[in-house]
Structures are given as C-alpha cells and as structure tokens.
Amino acid sequence: MSIKANIVRSLSDVAVRSPFRGAAEKLLTVAGHSFPTSRTVHSFGRHFGSKLMDYEGASFERIVSLASGGQMYCGADGQIALLNLMHYFTGTLTGQAEDERTIVSLLNHLVQKGDVFFDVGANFGFYSCYVSPLCGKLGSIHAFEANPRLIPILSRSINLNRTQTNLQLNAVAVGRQSNTYLPFFGTDRIGCSSLHRHQWIDQDSPVLVPVTTIDDYVRESHITRIDVMKIDIEGAELEAFEGMSETFRLCPPGVIFCELIPMNVSGRAETSPAPSAMAEFLHKKGYELFRIVEAKGRFGLRNVPISSIDDGSNATNVVFALPDIKRRRPEVFFS
C-alpha cells in the first residue's frame, strides 16, 4: 500500500471514531458530488465508507441522492453496500473500468417526461433510479434483474422512487423463450453474473432463474412504446433481442444502450454469441451503430460501421438508434 493510501486509511479511521464523524461524512459527500471523478475523493470514499460500515455494523444504511433527483438504498447486504457507497459519495456512477457518466449525460438529453424506459440487467438499480425523475409520473420504468441476491436491495431502491414515476420490478432473466428456467452463474459477482459460463465467475454453483421474453412482457403489460432501453446482461443480449421480434415490429425501442463483451476479452464464454452477430441482427431491424465520444466539451454519439463491433479487449458501451431519433435529437449526434 502506498504512503498516500496509508494516510487516507489512517485519516478515515480517525474520522469515523471521532465525535465529528457526521460532519466528516457530510463533507466527503459534498466533495464527491462536486468532484465525482477525483481520485482523492474515491480513495477517501472507499476507506471512510468501509470504516463507517464496520463501525455501524448491521445497522448501517444510507439513502443515495443521485444528480437527477432519483434515490437508491444502500445497506443491508454488506458486499452490495460497499459497491454502492461510491454512488452515495459522488451522486453518480463513476470509478468503473469505463466511466458510465457518459451514458448518464446522454440519458439526460434522450429521456423526457412521459417516456418508457426498459432497464434489462438492472443490477442494484442505478439506471432505473436515475431515470425515474426524468420519466416522471406520466412515464414508466420496467426493470429486469435475474440475480436473486440483488432483488431485496433493488426492490427497496425502486420503492424510494415510486412517488416520481411508475416502476415495475421483474425478478427474471430476459431471453429468447418464456416460461422456462435457466442456470444462472456467479450470483456473488455483483454486476458480472450471467447465463453464460464466463471464466471470471463461479461456474460450479448456478441457481435456476425464471426467463421471460420482452415480447411476452410487452404484450401482457399492454405496452405500446419503448423510448429507451439499457441492456447489460453479460453476453446474453442477442438471446434477449431474439425474444423481441414482435416488439421490434410494433414498438421498437428508439435507442438501445448496450454493453458489449468483445470476442477477444479473456475468459469470455464460448457459448456467448459474438457481438457482431447481435449488431447484424439489430442492423437488419433498422438500427445504426454509434460509439459514445467526447467532443466540443460534451458527450455525444458518432456513427461507426457495424464491422467495428468486435474491436477492443475490454467491455464497452455502444448505442443502437433508429434513424428518426437522429432527426429528433440532433444535438446528441456528432457528424
């Protein structure tokens, strides 16, 4: 551990044990919301937060206030709470391998009051909760999460936002066939669990989870539009899209945010369809592929060829959009 890390850890330990613990926590939260990408803030957040959880024990819980006005629950499950603490201190989603504040910035422009948002692979609810006030009471959010360990925390977070919009939690996996059960791997790898046997997750103790298709869900829920979809299900995205044939015909999502695991990512399961197959599938449905880029001091979307989809050695976020979105939201797109 570096000298700086030792200093941060020592100061955090002193702050948590002092009578000024509450003031230190408030100061760190204000600093985090003001400077969400600061490495110093992240370091103090991790160390101070960990010490705070140890100090309060089973009684530890906090409410995360997101930059959009949405809220999330933090507590009850120590492992999840530790991951969630950076949301608490910064008010956004940062510190990841890929800084997903880029997606947040785009959602602020793309989601409007009354919109319908699908969150496929909701994890512990950041995007559902963030988008909640953007959709408003006239809109709705439909969250899908297969990992049973996440459901109690996700449920509490969603309940915090019910006064702002209509949220529906679905404790199911999304796939190509409904009314089935499939093995689900790595329930303890929060954010990395999957229907596929990737080498970075526990392959020996899967749990069976129920599966639905988007088509069946849309039909049974009488949904007539999907404005924005975010899908991140660790390499099972193509199966989900194959279960959306009717949805693509009747009410296709205008914009799809999707995390890709390129073929050359180490440890990727061979059973997981290639991202290029997914991109070709969506291309035939009329979607164009866009990369998220920064230019002119802001984040936006730049059109790239479908053939570039398997580039890279790390998971990356891309966007698929229908042509009419580019006409209606030109400020989001770069030439």
pLDDT band at 94 (very low <50, low <70, confident <90, very high): low
CA–CA distance, 221 with 260 (Å, rounded to integer): 28
Q: Three-state DSSP class for 200?
A: coil
Structural domain boundaries, residue 222: 101-334
Q: Which residue has the higher pLDDT, 96 or 84?
A: 84
Q: Which pLDDT score, from 0 to 100, does residue 98 have?
A: 54
Q: Are residues 138 and 170 in the same domain?
A: yes
Res. 97: pLDDT tops 60: no
Pairing of strands 228-231, 255-260: parallel
Res. 269: pLDDT tops 90: no
Give 17's contacts (C-beta < 8 A, 6+ positions apart): 55
Pairing of strands 173-174, 207-212: parallel
Instruction: Note whether residue 72 is domain-resident.
Output: yes
Name 117's bridge partners.
141, 228
For residues 193-216, average pLDDT = 91
Q: Are residues 299 and 320 in the same domain?
A: yes
Q: Are residues 196 and 258 in the same domain?
A: yes
The string of pLDDT tens digits covering residues 123-179 is: 989 999 999 999 999 999 999 999 999 999 999 999 999 998 999 999 999 999 999
Q: Which pLDDT score, from 0 to 100, does residue 308 have?
A: 82
Res. 65: pLDDT tops 70: yes
What is the chain's length?
A: 335
pTM attached to this predicted model: 0.93
Domain count across the chain: 2
For residues 299-307, average pLDDT = 90
Q: Are residues 16 and 158 in the same domain?
A: no
Instruction: Note whether residue 95 is domain-resident.
Output: no
Mean pLDDT of the chain: 90
Q: Which pLDDT score, from 0 to 100, does residue 36 have?
A: 87
